[in-house]
Chain A
Amino acid sequence: MYFDSFQAAMAMDGHGVFVWSAYGISVLVLALLLLRPWRQERRVLRELATQWKRSNQPPRGTNHSQANSGLSREGSDAPGS
């Protein structure tokens, strides 16, 4: 540890304002950079789930039997709902 006390580390011989604001803003920007796609991904997955529950259309590019064989749960859920 280079600094003697917490106060000294905060002040940094008069450069504390610059150093701490630079680190603070940077950490904030980096945190937002990581949080944004994480939240977006969860939102997209949630939206897709609700979208498909509403419109029970088969997915593009696959025929019906294939889609159903791949999704065992769909068959058991569909008649009840």
Chain B
Amino acid sequence: MWSFFHKLGSPPWLYRISGSILRWLLPLTLLGLALGMTWGLFFTAPDFRQGNSYRIIYIHVPAAVVALAGYYVMATAGAVSLIWKMKMADVALRAAAPVGAALTFVALLTGAIWGKPTWGTWWVWDARITSMLILLFLYLGVIALYEAYDNKEAAGKACAVLSLVGTVNIPIIYKSVDWWYSLHQPASIKFTGPSSIDPSMLYPLLLLIISFYALFTCCLLMNMRVGILQREARTKWVRKLVGL
């Protein structure tokens, strides 16, 4: 157990293991995304009330779910790098931010496009949408904050603190559709009790949620590999890797 954590802190090990994970996870992810999107676009029946516009759900929900989960990853990495001063946690924090930002952007954008034919408007300042916008700004804030510092160690610390403070937003996003009256519908998939979504629509959605999780993992690992190389640029193992 502890030796595993010890290895996690080792850049060469992390670089090597991420390479071998990506070799099979990346093709699987692309396959899952392609299958899920084709399934959702062409092989499901339209929603009885929303018609075909509901097909946006197959991107919107997975992107939103993983954008939120990505924030946990980032904040956890921030906590680990603050408490144990683990260098690789700092690398992970920086690797997660752009992926989370992109997924939040996709969730907001597909939501806006979906809102137009369904609600009659691109945008409303309701609780769910506003708190998701704050999530986007938190991700972008972490990226900008890191760039703002010349001292990268101080930058990492500041980003970790910001990401931890930002976690207050996460339960607000989850609960926003229950706490406030909203145009946004509450969750259709429940782990406790039956889901209010038909199985024929649920299966492609689940496939895409899993694929988006896998996509996040792939992007996180790929970004971390870049971060590791930049951080370890002057070490012996990277020199060996380059073949010098």
Contacts and interface: CB of A to CB of B under 8 A. Distances in A.
Interface of A: 1-3, 9, 12-16, 18-19, 21-23, 25-27, 29-30, 32-34, 36-38, 40-41, 44-45, 48-49, 52-53, 59-62, 67, 70-71, 73-74
B41 A30 contact: no
B229 A44 contact: yes
B229 A48 contact: yes
Contacts of A36: 98
Contacts of A45: 229, 241-242
A48 to B, nearest CB: 5
Contacts of B222: 34, 37-38, 41
Contacts of A13: 46, 51-52
Contact of B225 (A18, A37, A61, A73): A37
A36 B101 CA distance: 14
A64 B238 CA distance: 16
B218 A34 contact: yes
Q: Among A9, A22, A23, A40, find the residue whose CB has the most chain B CB atoms closer than 10 A.
A: A22
A18 B117 contact: yes
Nearest to B99: A33
Q: Among A18, A38, A70, A74, find the residue whose CB has the most chain B CB atoms closer than 10 A.
A: A18
B131 interface: no
Contacts of A19: 41, 52-53, 55-56
A44 B46 CA distance: 47
B216 to A, nearest CB: 9
